[in-house]
Amino acid sequence: MTVPRFAAPPEPEDPGGRSFLRLVSSRSVPAAPGDDDGGPGPLLVAALDDLPELPGETFVAALARETAAGARVLVYHGRRDDHRGVVLTAALVRPRGLAVMRGRAGHQRPLPALRGPLGAHENLLERTYGLQLAASSPRRAEDQLDPRDMWFWPAGKDQSPSDRDVGFGGLVDHGPLRLHCRGDQIRAVEVRALAGRDVEAVLCTRPLVQLPALVETLRGEGSIARAWAHAMAVEGLAGVTLDLACSVHRGVGLELERIAGHLVGLAAVARAIGFGAGAAELDRLQATIRDLLMRLCGSRHGHAHVRPGGVREPFGAARLADVRATLNGFRDAFARASAMMMGARSVQARLDGVGFLGGRDAAQLGLVGPAARASGLPHDLRRDLPGRLYRRHAVDVFVEYDGDCLARASLRVRETEAAVAWILGCVAEAAGAPPILVPSLAPRHLAIAAVEGARGPIVHLLETDAAGRLLDYRAQDPAMFAWEALAAAVRGGSLADVPLCGHSLDLSLLHGGAAC
């Protein structure tokens, strides 16, 4: 079942009216983010002196109350502060806009753990920032391993890696997943922590002018979304305001990136089930979109399309005509390719019911992006916190309720069609001057910017010191929520479904790319 375009939810009362939870915008006034500029929203900029720090336990208790009242945590971040412990920052999506909380956890006492939707954030706090959290809840019954229920005993040290890869010994490794199997059936799944890269620490040491090119290549897909989130945060800290036409220009690139990302996912799913004809046609269409990006900004992955202070190069009449002609031809070809794939009974039979994630499970795992919308959760920042861009040019948001691989593929098809329609409807307004020089950043300020990318929200958090230099940088990728979702989707299923479910959730099992 598909439901298009949600109306804005009613605005509830602020629970408790707590002064430490503040709504702020790029001008530090209590208004909805995005009212003052043409950005996609949300953008939050605040002076650190205006954000009192709560004690760790009080901070966690307030965060628990907010989530129980319906707020959704966008980012939950920690920063080491020498011997004084870890500074905690949480940004929450609420009906009134974006809110921020600050706290401080000491090294002496463990911080209470909330888990649930915050589990991925808390795991990162433990692994990266050395924060001690209270013992998590005991393992679920379905994760308990009974030796009598295993066909093979765990492998010994003498077993070769090639034997372990094919499942001898009852253990199979897929990226960060370790699968405990009985024959071909997955009995339990462990999600192992991979060695992380503290790339944000490197960003704080580089000149500001070098950061956009580095941010674009932090992880795989999503270069334009990451560059836009970075540009929004920097522009907010510098007090730069851009017009709506510049944001439309950026939005066209973002939606082209969304189309390409969905085509990659659909083609991977088609290959995983042996639907070679559909995969080949989707790959050809994806190349068409990548070639269009190359003509628009000089990169097939959208590098340099977005820069702080404006756009790399405004669209001229020839480029506008190129976008319209390419997308009009693409729309017809994609309609035929998607009908061929989604209308095939063999495809429907192979995808239906595989990798099921119900709405309750998706909410408990903190799932975001298309995977969440395919499980009935209407989470999309373009609708929840639209900013002036998406209020002027609204985007259709679709939701599926079956929560399986078929629902996720259907949602990708619908979002691709909606992205094409959105671009054709507003590309004529994609203008703007070349980038202006961004002035120095405001000292002792915090900026949080988020963009709804192809896989979910891309969130960038920047903090400056007393001299206006970057003190902290956090670049959050939606893949950090998807690994636990993949573990839940494949539990109890077949080993043959693991690659299919991985591609369905936009994860790469070949490289174990646990982007966080």
Mind listing the pLDDT tens digit for each residue in 269-289? Answer: 999 999 999 999 999 999 999
User: How many CA atoms within 13 Å lie on the side-chain side of 194?
Assistant: 18
When mean pLDDT is compared across 28-37, 171-180, 478-487, the lowest value belongs to 28-37
Other beta carbons within 10 angstroms of residue 32's beta carbon come to 18
Instruction: Name the token pair of 494.
Output: 């077949």
Instruction: Name the token pair of 413.
Output: 């098809």
Which DSSP letter does residue 109 get? S
pLDDT confidence bin for 152, thresholds 50/70/90: very low
Residue 502 pLDDT > 80, yes or no?
Answer: yes
Residue 510 pLDDT > 70, yes or no?
Answer: no
Residue 225 pLDDT > 80, yes or no?
Answer: yes
Of 97, 118, 99, nearest in space to 384 by CA: 97
- Round to whole Å and give the CA distance between 498 and 491: 9
Structure confidence by residue, pLDDT tens digits, 431-472:
766 778 888 999 999 999 999 999 999 999 999 999 999 999
Structure confidence by residue, pLDDT tens digits, 297-324:
999 999 999 999 988 777 888 999 999 9
CB 389 within 8 A of CB 248: yes
Helix (H) or strand (E) holding 238: helix 223-238
Domains plus CATH for the chain? 199-504 (1.10.645.10)
Structure confidence by residue, pLDDT tens digits, 379-407:
999 999 998 899 999 999 999 999 999 99
Higher-confidence residue of 167 and 57: namely 57
pTM, rounded to two decimals: 0.87
Instruction: Give the pLDDT score at 14.
Output: 40
**How confident is the model over 22-27, as a mean pLDDT?**
37
Residue 2 pLDDT > 80, yes or no?
Answer: no
Instruction: Give the pLDDT score at 172.
Output: 79
Helix (H) or strand (E) holding 191: strand 185-191
Our separate counts of H helices and E strands in the chain read 17, 16
Residue 192 pLDDT > 50, yes or no?
Answer: yes
Instruction: Give the pLDDT score at 433.
Output: 65
Cis omega (within 30 of 0) for bond into 42? yes
Sign of torsion, CA 514 43 103 87?
positive
Instruction: Give the pLDDT score at 277.
Output: 95
Beta bridge partners of 404: none
CB 404 within 8 A of CB 356: yes
**How confident is the model over 288-296, as a mean pLDDT?**
96
Instruction: Give the pLDDT score at 62.
Output: 94
Higher-confidence residue of 6 and 175: namely 175
- Mean pLDDT across the chain, nearest whole number? 84
CB 307 within 8 A of CB 433: no
Sign of torsion, CA 404 506 343 498?
negative
Beta bridge partners of 399: 3
Which DSSP letter does residue 473 get? E
Residue 6 pLDDT > 70, yes or no?
Answer: no
- Percent of the residues in the chain that have a pLDDT greater than 70, as a whole number: 82
b/e sequence 189-212, b meaning 16+ C-beta within 10 Å:
bebeeeeeeeebeebeeeebeebb
Contacts of 26 (CB under 8 A, 6+ apart): 33, 36, 37, 39, 43, 45, 235, 236, 241
pLDDT confidence bin for 158, thresholds 50/70/90: very low
Structure confidence by residue, pLDDT tens digits, 57-68:
999 999 999 999
Instruction: Name the token pair of 350.
Output: 């192979």
Helix (H) or strand (E) holding 244: helix 244-272
Of 394, 417, 430, nearest in space to 7 by CA: 394
Contacts of 483 (CB under 8 A, 6+ apart): 175, 176, 177, 191, 507, 514
Of 167, 52, 146, 164, nearest in space to 100 by CA: 52
When mean pLDDT is compared across 149-153, 287-291, 369-373, the lowest value belongs to 149-153
- Round to whole Å and give the CA distance between 477 and 461: 12
Higher-confidence residue of 22 and 129: namely 129
**How confident is the model over 396-423, as a mean pLDDT?**
97
Instruction: Give the pLDDT score at 133.
Output: 86
- Round to whole Å and give the CA distance between 457 and 32: 18
- Round to whole Å and give the CA distance between 76 and 121: 6
Phi, psi for 451 (deg, rounded to 5): -130, 135
